[in-house]
Amino acid sequence: MSFSFEVLHNSKGTRARLGKMHTPHGIVETPVFVPVGTQATVKSLTPEELCELGVQMVLANTYHLYLRPGHDVISELGGLHRFMHWDRALLTDSGGYQVFSLSKLSKISNEGVTFQSHLDGSTHLLTPEKAMEIQGALGSDIMMSLDECTPYPATHKESQESLKRSIDWARRSKESGNPGNGALFGIVQGGMFQDLRARGVEAITNMGFDGYALGGLSVGEPREMMLDIVASTLPLVPKAAPRYIMGVGTPEDLIQLVSLGADMFDCVIPTRNARNGRLFVRSGTLNICNARYRTDQAPVEAGCPCYTCTHYSRAYLRHLFMAKELLAYRLNTIHNIYFFVMLMKEMRNAIRQGRFAQFKKGFYSQNTG
Amino acid sequence: MSFSFEVLHNSKGTRARLGKMHTPHGIVETPVFVPVGTQATVKSLTPEELCELGVQMVLANTYHLYLRPGHDVISELGGLHRFMHWDRALLTDSGGYQVFSLSKLSKISNEGVTFQSHLDGSTHLLTPEKAMEIQGALGSDIMMSLDECTPYPATHKESQESLKRSIDWARRSKESGNPGNGALFGIVQGGMFQDLRARGVEAITNMGFDGYALGGLSVGEPREMMLDIVASTLPLVPKAAPRYIMGVGTPEDLIQLVSLGADMFDCVIPTRNARNGRLFVRSGTLNICNARYRTDQAPVEAGCPCYTCTHYSRAYLRHLFMAKELLAYRLNTIHNIYFFVMLMKEMRNAIRQGRFAQFKKGFYSQNTG
């Protein structure tokens, strides 16, 4: 296993930290935002474009790739990196979240989850061991233990039972043996209850993973509740390991969570919003469908050096989007990913230079939502 | 007007010729294939990618851009080149073909065509003068006179009446005055009747256009009939002007038509087929959905140096296509356009080197349909 993490710098006045993950496919600087490439592609973009945008790591979904084209197919073709022509780091989730959110569930037991494929209705059993086998076959750089994503709302009792299962599955994930060259992260559940989160951290960190994730956040709870859980839970996680908040978030969320000590994030927000015509700018977002952009010569954001802003007007992007042209999704995605990547880079620079607290304050005063 | 055409080389044993068009946006070597960029974009690709593929000229559709976003909008934004970030040559059609094929026709008169927009049902009148005004506002490098595309089948009488109208409209297109910096081509109709085609050529060439197109071909007639019409009509067109066969064709068609003396072609075949998963190879086409490609490590075509073939397996392309991923359409389009661009380049080289007849023979013996 060739994974390591080092903290290079701690922010003063916040818990933000600058770090570096060494993975089998290169260095990843943290805090990092990981774009989602569900089906072995970040929708509409090539790997070369992702590299040019400064993307260091991409997330691929175990659930989707297991069902189509099959992890066995990808393994036979030399692994996911080669399959999708991506030579930087790959993170894979465990499949658990998608099983609960996308498929028709047949049965959850301590053994695992029996589910029906959202593609063809076929029945499958996902166990912690199977999740590891799939991720190993894909050749992931960072694998995740199988967890049960506790829904929101859930009672204390429900959350406790769910946590118990996730802890058990984490143990089995670890015990099944790391099949590849990558790291294995444990996932802490516990719903919206601080005592359960604390218990989750204790159990998971005692097992000793390469990194720790908080799962089950941004599942419908109020934003303040999410931030409270992170604020109270992250300090319990060993400082020496990377801390990953799964499925989050908006630019405001990312800044807030970095200030609480988080190192990694993945989210469909920049890519999905791009395909819906919602583009990120410093002051919030703009909806490219808006008739006000019909003859607007300006780029999405003045001064933005991304490919889209360098060469195209809002008027052209609006035209492409209204005409449902494929290039619309691509140009929008380029801008939004660039926005997120740059935001993380600015945060890293600010931490390095000891001015993260100011950066955060400045960003919020600029941002009007 | 800064347009000129020169013939550099004539093939021996065929009527193929090598030429060069000088346009306000650069040189275009002929014979040339012009990819279709209907709505101010060649679907899924950036202009940089088109340049890298060797595309010298793109066709944009007057009908579509008139309706959305409007030629007035594009003109206000500095013209079509700037709008779509394309600095090589642009060809625009007259809108006639789309009015007849896409919109609900209200009325055809000698004045022009009244039609209903396929987007919102609004009523519009397209006249020869209007077609010129729109193309001028777009800043086209090669504009086309308004014509009536004679359907197939049509009687001699119907074809004759239709030809008469196209001739009248060509005269009015020319007389309305060239609004821009580009060239103006006249279109010869005449259905599938050689006497009418001959009459069409006479009338249109007498008016004196910068180039001549044969329209109303590949509209459902047998391939041999199309080739016969071209074979008998093209020799009547002045040798000094570029000859354009509109809306054609397959690789086999292009080779055959070049050997008959044609210089220019546009067609949706490479781009539309790409989006349908049909990829061009020397021996014909392959359908990337086919289950036989599920674990096929090979590129679409061995030895093809295009971006797609250099980096991706058939298995990955099949996966993307089955998963309806946006990248599928893009990678497929890159390969197919490259195939067409290279085919034209090979033909030009063969003409230059005096071996076009052999090239043609060799291609057919390789190609199994």
Residues A249 and A299 in one domain: no
Question: What are the chain A neighbours of B68 within 8 Å (beta carbons)?
Answer: 319, 322-323
Least CA distance to B275: which residue of chain A?
A326
Percent of chain B with pLDDT over 70: 99
Q: Is residue B359 part of a domain?
A: no
Interchain proximity B323–A68, CB inside 8 Å? yes
Q: Which letter does DSSP use for residue A176 in this model?
A: T
Residues A82 and A145 in one domain: yes
Q: Is the pLDDT of residue A339 over 60?
A: yes
Residues A143 and A291 in one domain: no
Question: What are the chain A neighbours of B43 within 8 Å (beta carbons)?
Answer: 325-327
Q: Is residue A64 part of a domain?
A: yes
Residues A232 and A344 in one domain: no
Q: Is the pLDDT of residue A369 over 50?
A: no
* pLDDT tens per residue, range A226-243: 999 999 999 999 999 999
Tally of domains in chain B: 2
* pLDDT tens per residue, range A118-172: 999 999 999 999 999 999 999 999 999 999 999 999 999 999 999 999 999 999 9
Residues A261 and A165 in one domain: yes
Question: What are the chain B neighbours of A77 within 8 Å (beta carbons)?
Answer: 295, 297, 313, 315-316
Nearest to A85 among B297, B312, B318 (CB): B312
Nearest to A326 among B76, B85, B329 (CB): B329
Nearest to A295 among B43, B76, B319 (CB): B76
Residues B185 and B284 in one domain: no
Alpha-carbon gap: A251 to the closest alpha carbon of chain B (Å) = 25
Question: What are the chain B neighbours of A41 within 8 Å (beta carbons)?
Answer: 320, 325-327
Nearest to B68 among A46, A297, A323 (CB): A323
Mean pLDDT of B200-219: 97
Interchain proximity A319–B68, CB inside 8 Å? yes
Interchain proximity B77–A297, CB inside 8 Å? yes
Residues A244 and A346 in one domain: no
Residues A288 and A207 in one domain: no
| Residue B219 tokens, joined | 């509209």
SS3 A60: strand
Least CA distance to B85: which residue of chain A?
A311
Q: Is residue B322 part of a domain?
A: yes
Nearest to B41 among A318, A320, A322 (CB): A320
* pLDDT tens per residue, range A233-290: 999 999 999 999 999 999 999 999 999 999 999 999 999 999 999 999 999 999 999 9
Question: What are the chain B neighbours of A45 within 8 Å (beta carbons)?
Answer: 327
Interchain proximity B330–A44, CB inside 8 Å? yes
Question: What are the chain B neighbours of A78 within 8 Å (beta carbons)?
Answer: 297
Interchain proximity B329–A329, CB inside 8 Å? no
Mean pLDDT of B78-101: 95
Interchain proximity A69–B322, CB inside 8 Å? yes
Q: Which candidate, A212, A101, A91, places its Cα nearest to that of A141?
A: A91
Active site residue B263: no
Give the pLDDT confidence score for residue B104 in this predicted structure.
82
Instruction: Point out the domain boundary residue: A241, A267, A293.
Output: A267
Could you say which of B87, B263, B266, B296 is catalytic?
B266
Residues B224 and B300 in one domain: no
Alpha-carbon gap: B90 to the closest alpha carbon of chain A (Å) = 17
Strands B211-214 and B183-188, sheet pairing:
parallel
Total residue count of chain A as it appears in this document: 369
Q: Which letter does DSSP use for residue A329 in this model?
A: H
Give the pLDDT confidence score for residue B278 in this predicted structure.
98
CATH number at residue A102: 3.20.20.105
Instruction: Point out the domain boundary residue: A212, A241, A267.
Output: A267
* pLDDT tens per residue, range A303-324: 999 999 999 999 999 999 999 9
pLDDT band at B185 (very low <50, low <70, confident <90, very high): very high
Residues B245 and B114 in one domain: yes
Task: Check if the beta carbon of residue B38 is closer than 8 Å to that of residue B45.
Answer: no
Interchain proximity B330–A326, CB inside 8 Å? yes
Q: Is residue B88 part of a domain?
A: yes
Q: Is residue A337 part of a domain?
A: yes
Interchain proximity A45–B327, CB inside 8 Å? yes
Active site residue A93: yes
Query: Which residues of chain A approach chain B closer than 8 Å at the C-beta?
Result: 39-41, 43-46, 64, 68-69, 73, 76-78, 83-85, 294-295, 297, 307, 311-313, 315-316, 318-320, 322-323, 325-327, 329-330
Q: Supply the pTM of this predicted model.
A: 0.97
Q: Is the pLDDT of residue B368 over 80?
A: no
Give the pLDDT confidence score for residue A105 in this predicted structure.
78
Residues A212-244 as b/e (b if ≥16 CB within 10 A, e otherwise) read: bbbbbbbbebeeeebbebbbebbebbeeebbbb
Q: Is the pLDDT of residue B303 over 80?
A: yes
Instruction: Point out the domain boundary residue: B250, B267, B284.
Output: B267
Q: What DSSP assignment string belongs to A113-127?
A: EEEE-TTT--EEEE-
Interchain proximity A315–B44, CB inside 8 Å? no
Q: Which candidate, A264, A267, A288, A245, places its Cα nearest to that of A337?
A: A267
pLDDT band at A46 (very low <50, low <70, confident <90, very high): very high
Could you say which of A72, A93, A120, A263 is catalytic?
A93
pLDDT band at B1 (very low <50, low <70, confident <90, very high): low
Q: Is residue B45 part of a domain?
A: no
Percent of chain A with pLDDT over 70: 99
Alpha-carbon gap: A355 to the closest alpha carbon of chain B (Å) = 39
Q: How far is CA B198 from the centre of its chain?
A: 22
Alpha-carbon gap: B26 to the closest alpha carbon of chain A (Å) = 20
Range of the domain at A80: 7-267
Nearest to B326 among A44, A64, A322 (CB): A44
* pLDDT tens per residue, range B116-148: 999 999 999 999 999 999 999 999 999 999 999
Residues B263 and B283 in one domain: no
Q: Is residue A107 part of a domain?
A: yes
Residues B259 and B281 in one domain: no
Give the pLDDT confidence score for residue B369 in this predicted structure.
46
